[in-house]
Amino acid sequence: MNMMSQSQPSASLCVSDRAALHSKLRQLKSPLFLFKREKGTELLEASACRGEHVLPDGMVLPAEIDALGDSSFCRDHGLRYAYVGGSMAKGISSVAMVKALGQEGMLGFSVQPG
């Protein structure tokens, strides 16, 4: 079985390979399918399921970051993503962090003492 590489990602991987599994799960744009095999559980992309004649044992749905959250929140606040980042009292935060969040289309805040 091919393991994932930077130049040519594999459409299949053994779930026991934790690093490859985490990498595959971070690809949020396409569904992934779980199949239980004699040698263990296998995670397949849709393109690798074409020859399968059994139903998958599980599925991980796509979850693109800009599709999560309430679109009206983004519209009302002029944001790209429905995320808020910041700190509470005595938390670690900075103007630079708030600025970086804003530049990436998110809402940020910083609580300063005083």
Would you tell me how many other CB atoms lie within 10 Å of the CB of residue 89? Answer: 7
Is there a contact between 56 and 34 (Cβ–Cβ < 8 Å)?
A: yes
Per the prediction, the chain carries an average pLDDT of: 78
pLDDT of 101 strictly over 80: yes
| pLDDT tens digits for range 29-65 | 888 888 888 887 888 887 777 776 788 898 888 888 8
pLDDT at position 74 is: 92
Query: CA-CA distances (angstroms) from residue 75 to 64, 86, 100, 108, 109?
Result: 18, 20, 19, 16, 19
Backbone angles phi, psi at 23, to 5 degrees: -65, -45
| pLDDT tier for residue 13 given thresholds of 50, 70 and 90 | low
What SS3 state is found at 24? helix
